[in-house]
């Protein structure tokens, strides 16, 4: 049965702050070990690829508010990905912000190297106590379609917190904007019809308004609604 992680509307969510190009991070000699849970390798990777302009951008977004850094604690097939927590700890030291260590991913999704349908079909789900009324800033190692960030944001906000932004160590620039445009959503609905969105809501627990921009783009470019449904079922 498909998990239904909570998602919330994007409103005026700012673009994800990206520190380094994907290729620079993945070619670092400590990347694979860090991805598999080696804490020292993760800190070595983060210190080599964190970017001061990105840190300054986060400082601007935080703007003196009391903000908690929330890392994804992503579970990979080879272990718990150590990169998000290492990045959160490094940002904590540079920005004097606390890190929430209680928010954890509770399933293995196998997103690394997966296609778009696999990422959509196997959503990351989170658990952990949220401080009601507190502001959070999300931290992850990579942004692709943005679903993991969307689901972590949804968990926090559905439990009373407020997410003001997100940062990742690596990603492509076009993945930084998470909120889909009105034009994208209109094109998606016109191409695939209301029946698909109704099915989507029943299966995943949210409508197209809560998709990321990359997810909406991926679905809009898919041939038809039947292809989307069958591919998602195949990839579960």
Residues 57 and 117 in one domain: yes
91: in domain: yes
pLDDT given for residue 108 in this prediction: 74
Buried residues in 129-159 as b, exposed as e (16+ CB within 10 A): ebeeebbbbbbbbbbbbbbbbbbbbbbbbeb
2: in domain: no
Domain that holds residue 97: 17-174
Residues 48 and 108 in one domain: yes
* Residue 179 scores a pLDDT above 60: yes
pLDDT given for residue 114 in this prediction: 63
| Average pLDDT, integer, range 95-103 | 94
- Backbone torsions φ then ψ of 193, nearest 5 degrees: 85, 165
- Backbone torsions φ then ψ of 69, nearest 5 degrees: -80, 130
Please write the tens of the pLDDT for every residue from 47-82. 999 999 999 999 999 998 999 999 977 666 566 889
Judge contact between 183 and 216, C-beta under 8 A.
Answer: no
**Strand, coil or helix: 140:** strand
Buried residues in 75-87 as b, exposed as e (16+ CB within 10 A): bbeeebbbbbbbb
Residues 45 and 155 in one domain: yes
Residues 41 and 145 in one domain: yes
Q: What is the pTM of this model?
A: 0.93
pLDDT given for residue 167 in this prediction: 98
- Backbone torsions φ then ψ of 103, nearest 5 degrees: -85, 120
- Residue 63: which CATH number? 3.40.50
């Amino acid at each position: 049965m498909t998990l239904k992680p909570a998602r919330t509307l994007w409103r005026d969510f700012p673009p994800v702050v990206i520190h380094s190009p994907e290729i620079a991070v993945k070619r670092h000699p400590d990347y694979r070990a860090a991805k598999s849970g080696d804490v020292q390798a993760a800190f070595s990777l983060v210190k080599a690829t964190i970017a001061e302009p990105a840190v300054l951008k986060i400082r601007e977004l935080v703007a003196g508010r009391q903000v908690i850094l929330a890392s994804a604690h992503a579970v990979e097939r080879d272990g718990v990905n150590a990169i998000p927590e290492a990045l959160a700890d490094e940002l904590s030291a540079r920005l004097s912000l606390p890190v929430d260590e209680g928010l954890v991913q509770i399933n293995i999704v196998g997103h690394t190297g997966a296609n778009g349908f696999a990422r959509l079909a196997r959503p990351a789900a989170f658990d952990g106590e949220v401080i009601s009324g507190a502001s959070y800033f999300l931290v992850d190692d990579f942004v692709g379609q943005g679903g993991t960030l969307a689901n972590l944001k949804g968990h926090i906000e559905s439990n009373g917190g407020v997410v003001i932004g997100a940062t990742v160590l690596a990603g492509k620039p076009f993945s930084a904007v998470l909120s889909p445009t009105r034009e994208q959503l209109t094109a998606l609905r016109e191409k695939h019809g209301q029946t698909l969105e109704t099915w989507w809501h029943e299966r995943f627990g949210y409508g197209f308004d809560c998709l990321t921009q990359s997810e909406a783009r991926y679905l809009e470019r898919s041939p038809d609604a039947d292809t989307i449904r069958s591919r998602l079922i195949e990839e579960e």
